[in-house]
Amino acid sequence: MNARLVHFVWSHRLGLLVIVAVAMVLIFPLVTNNPYTLELTNRIAIISLAVVGLNLFMGSTGQISLGHAAFLAMGAYGSGVLTVHAGLSPWVALLAAAVLAAFFALVVGVPLLRLSGHALAMATLACNVVVHHVLLQEDQWTGGPSGLAGIPPLSVGGILLDNPVQLHFFVWGVLLLVLFGALNLVRSLPGRGLALLAADEIGAACLGVPVLRVKVALLVLSAVLAAVAGSFFAHTYGYVSPDSFSIFVSTDLAIMVVLGGMGSVWGSVLGAAVIILLPEVSDAAETYKEFVHGGILVAILLFAPQGAMRAIRQGWQLAVWRWRRAHATA
């Protein structure tokens, strides 16, 4: 009976994981109603949206992007400027910001994605620097270094999402839908082409995969998800500043991807949760954030180069194999 149960759990692990995730989202507000705790988990969900998109790009192309905070900024400031200065609806502003980020990703992606390695990383970093500089200089629209305040919250069905519990169900519901879509993409027929592209770009091109077109499409998709995350961030906190989208934020997003595992959809959430919750565990993690995050990155690359989620999965597989072997011997 135990052997059948283990076999059932392993055979249906993805479906069971989705069920557990949905159950945790529904139950968590009943377990704790602490606004600060819910604010942390809501922030994890919002940032995870951007990390999932970045992971799809990095995991499928094998390239590093160090400028993804620029797309977060476009979503946040796009929603903020259009609602505060133009008086548009938050949802219309969110859609416009996502279109802006997609257009920017398309324009810069076609030439930049012909690069690879360190050259691409530096080019994406330069894009982040340019966007950050624009946010600082265009103070009549963005508020400059002081930031932009007075951004209204989102509303669904006439209900303002200004309560941590209501916001919890909304942002985590959106994240679960995005995770489900990303998992289906990875496991679909086009997803096999993405896996081939990640393994061998030249081989993928020889087998007919349109490498540049796929790279640009993934960059646009990741930009849209980052812009949506940025819009959620702006409408949740009602305030944004350029420092929230600096190059250090871009490096943190890349560290979240590497920590969870490049190509691991669930690992995106794990990486975001670890980096966001780390300062809550230790004050030193906040004071010496750059050193701590750099140390985490080095440790992951040395001891678990495929990411924490892959290491957890391999550990589980090893435990199941040992359990089966012990019972077969018995």
DSSP 66-85: S-THHHHHHHHHHHHHHHHT
Strand partners, 240: 148
Give residue limits of the domains in the chain. Answer: 35-245
Nearest CA-CA partner of 123 in 252, 219, 242, 234:
219
pLDDT digit of tens for each residue in the chain (330 aa)?
455 665 666 565 666 676 777 788 778 887 887 888 899 999 999 999 999 999 999 988 888 889 999 999 999 999 999 999 999 999 999 999 999 999 999 999 999 998 888 899 899 999 999 999 999 999 999 999 999 999 999 998 888 888 899 999 999 999 999 998 998 888 887 777 777 787 778 887 887 888 889 899 999 999 999 999 999 999 999 999 999 999 999 999 999 999 988 888 888 998 999 899 888 877 766 777 777 877 877 887 777 777 777 777 677 667 767 767 776 665
Distance separating alpha carbons of residues 300 and 319, to the nearest angstrom? 22
Distance separating alpha carbons of residues 269 and 251, to the nearest angstrom? 16
**pTM (2 d.p.):** 0.89
